[in-house]
A and B are shown apart, each in its own frame.
Chain A
Amino acid sequence: MTALEHFVVAAEPYYRPVGNEVAVFEAAYRHRLPVMLKGPTGCGKTRFLEYMAWRLRRPLITVAAHEDMTAADLVGRFLLVPGETVWHDGPLTLAARGGAICYIDEIVEARQDTTVVIHPLTDARRVLPLEKKNELVAAHADFQIVISYNPGYQSAVKDLKESTKQRFVGIDFFYPEADVEAEIVARESGAGAALAATLVEIGRRSRNLRGQGLEEGASTRMLIHAGRLALAGLGLEAAARAAVVLPLTDDAELREALGGAIAACLE
């Protein structure tokens, strides 16, 4: 358990439930069912999971998936010390042995043949075979696996295998309703209610351009950043430009259009 100590979420993270996601997650955890968090970037998936880990008092091990990730990066590998090779558990093995929640962020970024290593852990077997070591790790009773998944990335090239998808319980995230989002922005950035409401209105404008040149609209996280900049003394228009418009697009016309729409939201 000592290896997992620093993965424990000590203080309660701020999370504002927007639906029944807490209840769904708790029910899934009761039976240790694997969970899939879906939703656009910056809408609170990771925060939600931190909150749930705190609530359930489980350590949380996070792995950011990427294209070059191999199965060994998840499971572990032999490393060299002078004269011999020593096995090092990967994050997945660590979590499975110690009973942590293993969170694989943006799982579609990893190649499909990598992600299949989680299969034996996600069905009734709940085991992790370490082929190189000839060992079968039986998952700890508290172990749970959670993945996140941005449905926008769904494509023929980057998609989960059907056999992977069907192992998970899904929880859908989206940008919350305007008043709830304003509450979150206010709480996280320290902005007043009126400023937060304006920021959310700005966010809505950018989300309207989704698919019209913008891949995604401004995330809640972006709006929080804009709020912090505004509170740091930057004008709201400048803050929105720095935190929202410029990061979102390089297209000059799109910037101008978005800038115009944002200006329309400001007094």
Chain B
Amino acid sequence: MMATEAAAAPRLLAALRGRAGLDPLAQTAWGAVVAQGDAAGAARWADAVLALLHANAGAACLGAMLRLRGPAAALAEAAEHATDICRHAGAAPTIACLDTWDRLRVGGLWPGFCRLAREAPDVLAPATANAAAIVGAVGGEGFADFVALGLKAAGRDKARRAAFFALTSKLARQALAQGAGAGFSAHERLLKLFGTALWGRVPALRPLPAAPGRPPPRRASLSDGVVLLPESFPGVPQAAQGAVFRATVAHALAHLMAGAPRQPVGTLKPLQLVLVGLIEDARVEALALRRFPGLRRLWAPFHVAPPEGGTIPALLARLARALFDPDYQDSHGFVAKGRALMAAAAPFDPAASRRIGGLLGNDLGQMRLQFNARTHVIEPAYRDDGLGLWDFGERAETPPELLDLMVEAARLRQEAGEGGADTAGTGADTARARPAAAAHADGTVLARYPEWDRAQGVERPEWTCVRDVPARLGDARQVATALDAAPDLRRRIDRLVRAARPGRPRRLKRQPDGMELDMDAVLDAEVARAAGELPGEHVYRGSALCNRDLATVVLVDVSASTGDGGVLETERVAVALLAEAMARLGDPFALMAFASDGREQVRLTRIKDFAEPFAVATQARLAGLTPGLSTRLGAALRHAGADLAGVRSYRRLVLVLTDGEPSDIDVPDPADLVEDSRRAVLGLRARGIDAFAVVLGTAGADTAARMFGRSGHVALRRLEDLPARLSDLYFRLTRR
């Protein structure tokens, strides 16, 4: 080791001897490295810098390298990477890389820089200039991924590449907004469970979308009971993101538990709004801490403001810490006054927040400090933006910076409303838009099927045309929320699944052979023997696995009538629950929705095929179902049968979910379609496929009995029963 050190360092120093400007720099740098006492590191550094010199780095680049200070190993690594970059991209970008690394000191930068130097040296300049922003959003480890994404997306298009690394392209902004890792969605389930455990009901958590043309949101927002969370918290390392999310949700729930209604903004100025928000934050946290003292450990790491600094953000952070942390010492008059006012106020009184916030706002106003509402970001990071407290109403004269806040708040509220409420509104829109859409998208023709002509008593061949209509995608979260709202039901179905799951051994009695005696059989045999009869030989117990071998097609009626009274909504939940159960059982199944618009337009929407898993995409299609058109059941049944014909299963089942009798615009007498459906069911049964109908409401019960037989249908008087009954029914039908 000593030999290498002795060899490399003098070689480096010898090479630079006499070069004006570099010689003394090298001497000092070498001295600083050696002083660390890490001989191996020092030797590596000297070797690496020498290599950089040999890569024709030039005086400026070497100077930049030699001016860096830090642990020898890190500097050596920097020099090695700089050599690599210099060989491919030249000296100037290398200097930029070294400077950037020096500013950020994140090891993860190097792989990204090296790759850019090799593959796209032209964008090294914007990439180094924006490195701070990129690392801030995706973390040091994510930098290389960000680079890879940019190179891949741009291909050979230099302009696109430049736009990406200048952070002006949409993709780059998205990637930054999504931040490190998978962002909110990776934490969503955990947060939901955490919130539920604390709060007793499932909190509504939604991702907070970035508004076009604005930077990605950095803080959570509350909007009428919905907690909107950013994709990630910029500037927080990936490993700590989970902790911020959890602290954020706990804080948001503290607001919801304290439950203050929105207040009119009145004549409050932005700074006062911020202050009232801060006081209210402290108030709800104090209330939450009474009940859950352990939340202090969750929030405390974020309150790190030191008792110094006189700018408004600094004073706000100090006040926030003073109100949160009783052990924090701060003698500033403003902070002390805030503490005193807060201590005197009643904690259960939301109006106190406004009063105290107003008073403190006046004090701060008299200090004549600059406050920029546009760039202000709430600190600490786990607190929400405070907009959920305010009712901005409609005011004629509004200061421009308040207008900004209002627009933002209104946008959030609107989006949350759309995501959270049912789709009645959107459903109506689509229904209205449908005739026009239908003219364009007739759907792919899947097959033509015969139909029974009741009047003539003949089957009309190729009478109906079944078309595949692509599914509209809805919000899968909506389905998930609906499922969350029925925990008892889910538990019950869970038990059914477990009871029915294959691989559970069933005891068999009176077997001819086995490991255990069947005591009752032995006794019978003994009794028989004593009585002089021939004893039975079947005296053992055995067990057998009951295997399920069953394929199901679920046909969902989405005709116009299902739009009334939330029928489709309930169907959706029921089907989602059933699908969840079937997926967990491993039973192959397909989900289809049907509606019709005359015999040439029997429209089938595939929600899930046999081969597909029941996943988010499927749920999105389920959520996207919209009511409309009529019910030509027979054709749908025939198609389901054709679908099942290709499936190899011992039992095959078509399960129909409908809200009434079949009808269509080109059939004046519904009895025709009833008769046709009856024949379709008979046709299925003849091929060994069971058909079963669940009819909503009692109106269609008689018709259903005609079509599916007395034991082939069940009529539900109450719509609310559907989710529970549908799954129960499935298990009953498929037992044995």
- The answer to whether B193 touches A85, judged by C-beta atoms less than 8 angstroms apart, is no
- The answer to whether B527 touches A78, judged by C-beta atoms less than 8 angstroms apart, is yes
> With A212-B487, A257-B197 known to touch, is A156 a contact of B496 (CB < 8 Å)?
yes
Query: Mask for B487-502, Cβ within 8 A of A = 1, else 0?
Result: 1101110111001100
Give the residues in chain A near B494, CB-CB below 8 Å.
215
- The answer to whether A156 touches B728, judged by C-beta atoms less than 8 angstroms apart, is yes
Query: Mask for A60-97, Cβ within 8 A of B = 1, else 0?
Result: 00000001101010000111100011000000000000
Nearest-neighbor residue (CB-CB) of A78 within chain B: B523
- The answer to whether B488 touches A206, judged by C-beta atoms less than 8 angstroms apart, is no
A79, A205, A206, A208, most chain B CB atoms within 10 A: A208
Nearest-neighbor residue (CB-CB) of B500 within chain A: A157
- The answer to whether B297 touches A263, judged by C-beta atoms less than 8 angstroms apart, is yes
Contacting residues of chain A (239-267) with chain B, CB-CB under 8 angstroms: 253-254, 256-258, 260-267
Give the residues in chain B near A155, CB-CB below 8 Å.
492, 495-496, 499, 728, 731
> With A211-B488, A213-B193 known to touch, is A79 a contact of B198 (CB < 8 Å)?
no
B193 in complex: contacting residue of A67, A156, A212, CB < 8 Å: A212
> With A77-B523, A254-B193 known to touch, is A211 a contact of B293 (CB < 8 Å)?
no
**Bound complex: CA of A179 vs CA of B519, how far in Å?**
51
For the A-B complex, the count of residue pairs with Cβ-Cβ distances under 8 Å equals 109
Give the residues in chain B near A85, CB-CB below 8 Å.
523, 526-527, 530
B197 in complex: contacting residue of A84, A152, A206, CB < 8 Å: A206
Nearest-neighbor residue (CB-CB) of B298 within chain A: A264
A153, A212, A213, A254, most chain B CB atoms within 10 A: A212
CB proximity of B631 to chain A, nearest CB, Å: 28
CB proximity of A129 to chain B, nearest CB, Å: 17
Give the residues in chain A near B197, CB-CB below 8 Å.
205-206, 208-209, 257-258, 260-261
B interface secondary structure, majority: helix
CB proximity of B477 to chain A, nearest CB, Å: 16
Asked if B349 is at the interface of the complex by the 8 Å CB criterion, the answer is no
**Bound complex: CA of A262 vs CA of B295, how far in Å?**
10
- The answer to whether B194 touches A266, judged by C-beta atoms less than 8 angstroms apart, is no
Nearest-neighbor residue (CB-CB) of A83 within chain B: B530
Contacting residues of chain B (512-550) with chain A, CB-CB under 8 angstroms: 519-520, 522-523, 526-527, 530
A210 in complex: contacting residue of B194, B487, B499, CB < 8 Å: B487
CB proximity of B317 to chain A, nearest CB, Å: 24
Give the residues in chain A near B294, CB-CB below 8 Å.
262-267
Give the residues in chain A near B507, CB-CB below 8 Å.
67-68
- The answer to whether A208 touches B200, judged by C-beta atoms less than 8 angstroms apart, is yes
Nearest-neighbor residue (CB-CB) of A263 within chain B: B294
- The answer to whether B728 touches A264, judged by C-beta atoms less than 8 angstroms apart, is no
User: How many of chain B's residues have a CB under 8 angstroms from any CB in A?
Assistant: 45
**Bound complex: CA of A178 vs CA of B576, how far in Å?**
36
Give the residues in chain B near A206, CB-CB below 8 Å.
197
**Bound complex: CA of A152 vs CA of B486, how far in Å?**
14
CB proximity of A227 to chain B, nearest CB, Å: 18
Query: Mask for B582-613, Cβ within 8 A of A = 1, else 0?
Result: 00000000000000000000000000000000
> With A215-B494, A263-B294, A263-B297 known to touch, is A157 a contact of B194 (CB < 8 Å)?
no
Query: Mask for B190-204, Cβ within 8 A of A = 1, else 0?
Result: 111110111111100
> With A155-B499, A266-B294, A267-B293 known to touch, is A211 a contact of B490 (CB < 8 Å)?
yes
- The answer to whether B735 touches A215, judged by C-beta atoms less than 8 angstroms apart, is no
Nearest-neighbor residue (CB-CB) of A157 within chain B: B499
Nearest-neighbor residue (CB-CB) of B507 within chain A: A68
**Bound complex: CA of A267 vs CA of B168, how far in Å?**
48
Contacting residues of chain B (200-233) with chain A, CB-CB under 8 angstroms: 200-202
- The answer to whether A261 touches B492, judged by C-beta atoms less than 8 angstroms apart, is no
- The answer to whether A257 touches B193, judged by C-beta atoms less than 8 angstroms apart, is yes
CB proximity of A40 to chain B, nearest CB, Å: 11
Query: Mask for B240-262, Cβ within 8 A of A = 1, else 0?
Result: 00000010001000000000000
Nearest-neighbor residue (CB-CB) of B189 within chain A: A253
- The answer to whether A264 touches B198, judged by C-beta atoms less than 8 angstroms apart, is yes
Nearest-neighbor residue (CB-CB) of B725 within chain A: A156
- The answer to whether A158 touches B193, judged by C-beta atoms less than 8 angstroms apart, is no
Nearest-neighbor residue (CB-CB) of B522 within chain A: A80
- The answer to whether B488 touches A80, judged by C-beta atoms less than 8 angstroms apart, is no
> With A154-B492, A212-B487 known to touch, is A205 a contact of B198 (CB < 8 Å)?
yes
CB proximity of B520 to chain A, nearest CB, Å: 6
Contacting residues of chain B (136-190) with chain A, CB-CB under 8 angstroms: 189-190
Give the residues in chain B near A210, CB-CB below 8 Å.
487, 491
B193, B292, B298, B487, most chain A CB atoms within 10 A: B193
Give the residues in chain B near A67, CB-CB below 8 Å.
507
Give the residues in chain B near A153, CB-CB below 8 Å.
495
Q: What is B's interface to A at a CB cutoff of 8 Å?
A: 189-194, 196-202, 246, 250, 292-295, 297-298, 484, 486-488, 490-492, 494-496, 499-500, 507, 519-520, 522-523, 526-527, 530, 728, 731-732, 735
9 more contacts with CB within 8 A, not counting A158-B499, A212-B193, are A79-B523, A152-B492, A154-B492, A155-B499, A211-B487, A263-B294, A264-B250, A264-B295, A265-B294
Q: What is A's interface to B at a CB cutoff of 8 Å?
A: 67-68, 70, 72, 77-80, 84-85, 152-158, 204-206, 208-213, 215, 253-254, 256-258, 260-267
27 A–B pairs (Cβ distance < 8 Å), ordered by A? A77-B519, A77-B523, A78-B523, A79-B523, A80-B526, A84-B530, A85-B526, A152-B495, A153-B495, A155-B499, A156-B732, A158-B499, A206-B197, A208-B201, A209-B196, A211-B486, A212-B192, A213-B193, A215-B491, A257-B193, A260-B194, A262-B294, A263-B294, A264-B298, A265-B292, A265-B294, A267-B294
Q: List 8 tightest A-B contacts by C-beta distance, closest first.
A: A211-B487, A257-B193, A261-B197, A264-B292, A264-B294, A257-B194, A156-B728, A266-B294
